[in-house]
């Protein structure tokens, strides 16, 4: 009988100004149970609460089901009924999740988190989450520590505002909430509430609808969240909101944090650029009591697909000018999540791009992204270039308008040299490498060192250098053309055997495709450079031997400089011609 009533609702209307109205019948509760599908309502929705607490809600969205409503400016949803939608967060009482609210509290009671966040008990029944003043939340029964409920609208750490006792949020604003400890094996639709690493929450309230607007000021940072019970096209949201920089920042953290003290936090912010269609992961930092970074933990976050934000996901945005930020129904989209992450891992448009990995003393890696678009400019472009969010003591960045950026989007120019900023608090061993470029295959990817006037082709090998402490703003550049002088003409005494006399004999054995080194003293190190000064091979020798060799089959035909060092600090530098 209930199912027949559901079908009736789709084709007939109650005397309420709504396209979909769900209210109790004389026979009992009436509700829609949507599973793994999209529920589309062009107009408004009117919901009336069911009297039976086991079937209290009017609409249940389960197993990735989502509600999308037609494009309109005003919120036409009404009533005291509830929509129920599940979402999962990280289960750790010490780490934050950033949330948005996909529904509004229409209870009329005091605004506390338990009026809108519930613990699932069955397919339709949930009970309000318990609130506690204890430091740790618990999975069973679901207990949320109110001590970690905050919103953020500002620019400094002092702008975090506590909302644990007055949980009122305008739609579209986000909030922080720490996870829980323990497990809760109550199973709904084949999934446990908390198997020990994920915590499921039931958000209940009146679904948000229409345009959701908020003000933003220049350089102000807002914690916002997807305000709809559907996925959000984050790319469209960021591009359309021109009062922002068009970049979204996501908090990520280490799974090894087990303390509530700020000085023990390990986390950072990653950045998503819709113009680059890519996300740069966070570098995890330590903090002091004032939330200032004190050092890097040596850990880097994961790379996620961010083009679509799932239900209730929170993130940071930054103001470019004084203006307004708007969420719109036209930005809503039906997209399912990947079951292994609370963020979508989506197939995105492949913009030509490359990722540069910069390691400091092998302790941590800062990843920078370079993307190429014909419609970009060399300066800062809305929703393309991602400014660094939070300064690190030792770090690397692109330089745009004398500011540090994690993502740089610009037109491709083979002749251009793109500046890098390197900051080192202490003496550090810097190693720079590239990942396989995406939809991008220049003839060379070259790191230029303006101080030594040397260049290094990162296609061939990683670049490594020991740097004294300091800021290097005008020294390192990335380019895409090798500047190789013409090789000098060298004579050979025979085709297969080319001998260069000196402190150490350096012999090219063409038939075996190797260079052999014979010294009168114990060998210490062999290095090979191209004629631009770029190092392409380095081998330290710790055994007691006067003979060694290296393979040349992977080197192109050219002139190289071989540098041999013996343990008595004698050095031999020789040019040698390698022929295939």
CATH entry 2.60.40.3080 includes domain 497-578: yes
- 487 by Cβ neighbours in 10 Å (0-12 / 13-18 / 19+) ranks as middle
Give dist(CA 67, CA 39) in Å, integer. Answer: 5
Q: In the chain, how long is the greatest CA-to-CA distance?
A: 105
Q: What is the pLDDT of residue 483?
A: 63
Using the 8-state DSSP alphabet, how is residue 521 labeled? S
If phi > 0 it is left, if psi is from -120 to 50 it is alpha, else beta; for residue 436 that is beta
What pairing do the DSSP bridges indicate for beta strands 523-529 and 558-566? Answer: antiparallel
33 to 43, 66, 82, 206, 526: CA distances (angstroms): 19, 11, 12, 16, 71
Closest among 526, 528, 527, 529 to 542, alpha carbons compared: 526
Closest by alpha carbon to 370, among 344, 343, 406, 399? Answer: 406
Interatomic CA distance for residues 227 and 172, integer angstroms: 5
Given this model, what pLDDT does residue 76 score? 94
Domain ranges of the chain: 2-133+176-207, 353-483, 497-578
Residue 244 DSSP code: B
pTM for the whole thing?
Answer: 0.80
- Taking each continuous run of H as one helix and of E as one strand, the counts in the chain are 2, 53
Residue 272: DSSP 8-state = E
Backbone φ/ψ region at 275: left (φ over 0), alpha (ψ -120 to 50), beta: alpha
Averaged in consecutive runs of 10 residues, what is the pLDDT profile of the chain (580 residues)?
38 52 93 96 96 97 96 94 96 94 91 96 98 97 98 93 95 97 95 94 98 97 98 97 98 88 89 95 86 80 90 97 98 76 46 94 90 94 93 88 94 92 93 89 90 88 92 92 51 38 74 84 88 79 84 79 88 81
What is the per-residue burial (b if ≥16 Cβ within 10 Å, else e) of 227-237? bbbbbbbbbbb
């Amino acid at each position: 009988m209930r199912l027949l009533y559901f079908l009736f609702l789709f084709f007939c209307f109650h005397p309420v100004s709504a396209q979909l109205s769900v209210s109790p019948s004389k026979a009992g509760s009436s509700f829609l149970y949507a599973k793994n599908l999209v529920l589309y309502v062009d107009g408004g929705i009117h919901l009336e609460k069911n009297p039976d607490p086991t079937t209290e809600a009017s609409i249940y969205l389960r197993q990735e089901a989502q509600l999308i409503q037609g494009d309109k400016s005003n919120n036409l949803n009404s009533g005291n009924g509830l929509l129920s939608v599940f979402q999962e967060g990280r289960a750790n009482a010490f780490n934050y999740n950033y949330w948005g609210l996909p529904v509004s509290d229409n209870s009329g009671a005091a605004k506390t988190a338990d009026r809108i966040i519930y613990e699932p008990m069955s397919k339709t029944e949930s009970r309000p989450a318990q609130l506690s003043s204890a430091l740790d939340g618990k999975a069973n029964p679901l207990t949320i520590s109110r001590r970690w409920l905050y919103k953020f609208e500002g620019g400094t750490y002092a702008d975090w505002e506590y909302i644990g006792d007055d949980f009122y949020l305008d739609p579209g604003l986000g909030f922080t909430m720490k996870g829980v400890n323990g497990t809760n094996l109550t199973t709904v639709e084949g999934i446990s509430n908390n198997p020990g690493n994920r915590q499921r929450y039931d958000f209940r309230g009146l679904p948000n609808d229409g345009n959701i607007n908020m003000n933003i000021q220049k350089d102000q940072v807002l914690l916002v969240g997807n305000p709809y019970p559907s996925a959000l096209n984050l790319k469209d949201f960021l591009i359309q909101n021109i009062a922002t920089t068009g970049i979204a920042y996501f908090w990520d953290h280490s799974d090894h944090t087990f303390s509530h003290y700020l000085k023990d936090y390990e986390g950072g912010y990653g950045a998503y650029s819709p113009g680059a269609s890519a996300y740069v992961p966070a570098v995890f930092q330590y903090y002091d009591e004032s939330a200032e970074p004190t050092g890097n933990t040596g850990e880097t976050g994961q790379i996620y697909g961010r083009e679509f934000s799932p239900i209730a996901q929170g993130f940071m945005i930054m103001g470019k000018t004084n203006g307004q930020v708007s969420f719109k129904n036209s930005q809503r989209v039906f997209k399912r999540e990947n079951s292994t992450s609370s963020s979508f891992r989506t197939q995105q448009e492949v913009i030509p791009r490359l990722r540069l990995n910069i390691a400091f003393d092998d302790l941590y890696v800062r990843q920078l992204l370079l993307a190429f678009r014909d419609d970009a400019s060399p300066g800062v472009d809305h929703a393309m270039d991602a400014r660094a969010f939070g300064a690190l003591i030792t770090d690397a960045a692109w330089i745009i308008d004398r500011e540090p950026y994690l993502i740089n989007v610009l037109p491709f120019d083979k002749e251009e040299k793109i500046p890098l900023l390197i900051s080192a608090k202490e003496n550090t061993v810097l190693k720079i490498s590239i990942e396989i470029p995406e939809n991008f295959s220049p003839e060379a990817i070259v790191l230029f060192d303006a101080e030594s006037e040397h260049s290094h082709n990162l296609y061939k090998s990683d670049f490594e250098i020991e740097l004294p402490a300091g800021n290097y703003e005008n020294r390192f550049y990335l380019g895409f053309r090798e500047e190789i002088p013409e090789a000098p003409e060298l004579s050979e005494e025979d085709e297969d055997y080319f001998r260069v006399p000196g402190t150490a004999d350096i012999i090219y054995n063409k038939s075996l495709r190797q260079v052999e080194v014979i010294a009168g003293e114990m060998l210490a190190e062999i290095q090979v450079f191209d004629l631009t000064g770029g190092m392409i091979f380095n081998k330290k020798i710790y055994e007691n031997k006067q003979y060694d060799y290296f393979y040349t089959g992977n080197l192109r035909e050219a002139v190289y400089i071989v540098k041999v060092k013996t343990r008595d600090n004698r050095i031999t530098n020789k040019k040698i011609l390698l022929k295939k």
